[in-house]
Every structure is written in C-alpha cells, then in structure tokens.
Structure 1
C-alpha cells in the first residue's frame, strides 16, 4: 500500500514537471521579468543605503533583511543589494580583520568560518554563507 502511494506521488510529480515544461513559454517570460524587476529594486535599495552607510552598516542591514526571507531568489536579491551598497559605502576600519582570503574553491576552513559567522548571528539559511563569501571577495580585493 505504501509503495503504491509513493509511486502515485512520484507519478504526479513527474506529470507536474512535464506540464510546467510544456507551458514554459507562457509563464517563463513573466517570471524572468519579475525577477529582473526585483533585482533592480534591490540594487537601488543597496545604492541608497550605501550612500549613507559604511561597509559594516551595509553588511549588517543586508544580513538582518536576509534573515526574514528564504529561497534562491531571496539570496540572489540580497547579494545584489549587498554589492550595490558596498559600491557607495565608506570603508569600515577592521571590517576585514579575521576574514579569510577569497578562493574560487573554498577550503573546509573557509566553509567553517562562513557557517559559524552565520550561526553567531542566528541566521540559519544556506544563502547566508554566500553573503559571507561576498565579504571574503570584497576584503580580498581591497589593498
């Protein structure tokens, strides 16, 4: 009986994916447009915040906002928000202290640093680690 239920659910899932694939020409352009508009909005918010903040202020504001959402689009939008904010923000003294150097392939120590940085802020979302990687990139690109 359990096998039949699982098989039925898998079949239903496969049918849903197939229907989404068949109808993508109808919903995909609208979805992409919505994501582009959200991305532009987050970039503008970041530029506005950066004009009146420093690097640390940008980082804390974005992490606080990020902790209120979840999902792939949320992570992307907050990444754009953070990068735009840093474009305009004043440098923060000691902002890069104890931040590991950025590497394309993060080491276990880099992953541990990011994980603990998120946990210490009580942010459990996986996307938080990607925002921490952006701090590594910023700090590694500064003299």
Structure 2
C-alpha cells in the first residue's frame, strides 16, 4: 500500500512540475517555435523563387517531390509546399504540365485522391505529403480557382 501511495505522490509531483513548466515557459516556446517556422518558410520561398527563375513548372514539381522523398515529417511537407508555390510563380511553362491533372476542388473527390495516390505510387514516393504537393499542381493548373 505504501508503494502505491509513493507512486501516486510521484506522479502528482511530476504533473505539478510539468504544469509549472508549461505555465512558465510554454508561451516563450511557442513564440520561438513560430519564429523558427516563419524563418524556414521564408527560406523555402526564397529558394523556390530562385529555382523557379531557372526552371520550368515540371522542374519545380520534380524538385519538390525529390526533396520531399528525401526527408520526412510534417515540417518537410510544409517546406516543400512553400518551395513549390514560390517556384511555380517564377517558372517557365512546361508543355503538358497540366495534361490529365484533375480540376482543383476545395474538397478533393475520390477520383482526385485516386489520381494523386497512383501518381505518387508511379513516382515511387510514399507518404501523404506527396499527395498534398500534387494538390498544388492541381491548384496551379486550375488557375488558382476551385472547380464548382
């Protein structure tokens, strides 16, 4: 019985210490995290603009997918998304870039999801981020407007 009380007391103290840490340092951590994310976004966009000035649309997509395939995690997906958007703004048109690309919709249809999934498989790229990057292609090819 004493061992159980000690364990519960230990857990309570741990919970209190964690609560104190979150109260004391949590807001500062969030500010720092947001600043780091903004710096990473700015760097990815700058890299995308620079690459896009020397490439075409297909080159931008290929580079974003290749770089995505070499990393993992949510941050990686975000950075490649920022890169791709900026790159496409600067890139020269690519013949056939939009051929066979479904119209962009706010809520992707099952056909949209199937197209993206199979395209990622064909490229041998795994992970949800690949499909999200292909949504950028859909959006770009649709002129930045969702289909009705």
**How far 1:46 moved relative to its partner?**
0.3
Given the alignment, which residue of 54, 58, 61 partners 1:59? 61
Given the alignment, which residue of 113, 116, 119 partners 1:114? 116
**How far 1:107 moved relative to its partner?**
0.6
TM-score, scaled relative to structure 2 = 0.81
Given the alignment, which residue of 31, 44, 61 partners 2:33? 31
Given the alignment, which residue of 117, 124, 143 partners 2:126? 124
Aligned residue number for residue 89 of structure 1: 91
**Unpaired stretches in structure 2, ≥5 consecutive residues:** 1-10
1:74-102 deviation per Cα after TM superposition (whole angstroms, max 9, x unaligned): 11111110010011100001110000001
Pair 1:135 & 2:140 matched: no
**Unpaired stretches in structure 1, ≥5 consecutive residues:** 1-10
Residues matched between the structures, number: 132
**How far 1:26 moved relative to its partner?**
2.6
79-88 or 23-32, which deviates more: 23-32
Q: Rg larger in 1 or in 2?
A: 2
